[in-house]
Amino acid sequence: MTNSTLSTFRLIGMVHLPPLPGSPGSLDSMHAIIGRAVGEARMLASAGFDAVIVENFGDAPFAADSVPPETVAAMSIVADHVVRAAGVPVGVNVLRNDAISALAVAAASGASFIRVNVLSGACATDQGVITGRAHEILRRRAALCRGVAIAADVHVKHAVPINQPDIGLAAEETAHRAGADALIVSGSGTGKRTDLGEARRVRDAVADRPLWIGSGVTADNVGDYLGIADGVIVGTWLKEGGVTTAPLDMQKVETLIRAAKAARP
């Protein structure tokens, strides 16, 4: 998948998976997990979303950078069903920062891109210090699934950057030294508003990569974000009651679609 294709994704919807087999909160069968993921992906695609990301959000507390094999197996099965059912490009994010497993899931399922929370530099997080492994990730991609794109966060949420506090310089390093195909700027946490000033600084620093807003998008502010970024990732606001783990609220989905269309140049 090329940068030019990634730049056409204006609306990217989140498919937050419930706890998968082996995680502390696991209760649902794989059949139920697959059914919910496929249903949400289809609803988002039918409403007008350009892509979706499958993420193991329910697996908290997260491993820092190496999930167990049962998580890779479960996500591969779910992603395969979503890819075949959604009708739009599918991304994979293996939390907290297991990009190697995300590539494996993408290769097995036919997903088009992965999200990497820390591709470059180092961040202090609730999982400890996470260090980017761009050299290993890009080499594994070249060997395993060369066509899978990498969308990488700059100053990722739920983290404090250690090596490069300047978000513009961090963006340059993530794109030009670490090799990210697209950049993501988020707020401080899941569902938290992304600072428009920070998004502008990343846009100004790196003009040759697609830019996505990673959190805090609502129908009220989607026009502001799309005035700066190529696309927005939306999850929490679309759920019933604004709760990340709740089912989709289709009225909110349709409201966001209308607001995004109104913002189109």
Which residues lie closer than 8 Å to 109 by C-beta, 6 or more apart? 76, 79, 80, 82, 83, 90, 92
Q: What is the mean pLDDT of residues 163-170?
A: 95
The domain locations on the chain are 3-260
pLDDT tens column, 48-78: 999 999 999 999 999 999 999 999 999 999 9
Mean pLDDT, the chain, integer = 96
Of 86, 76, 85, residue with least CA distance to 109: 76
Peptide bond between residue 89 and the one before it cis (omega within 30 degrees of 0) = no
Q: What is the mean pLDDT of residues 153-171?
A: 94
pLDDT tens column, 220-241: 999 999 999 999 999 999 999 9
Predicted confidence at residue 265, as pLDDT, reads 61
pLDDT tens column, 186-223: 998 888 999 999 999 999 999 999 999 999 999 999 99
DSSP label at residue 239: B
**Among the CATH numbers 3.20.20.390, 3.40.50.10480, 3.30.70.120, 2.160.10.10, which is that of 3-260?**
3.20.20.390
* Residue 53 falls in which region: left (phi positive, over 0), alpha (psi -120 to 50) or beta: beta
- pLDDT band, residue 263 (cuts 50/70/90): confident
Integer Cα distance of 103 and 91 in angstroms: 10
pTM, to two decimals: 0.96
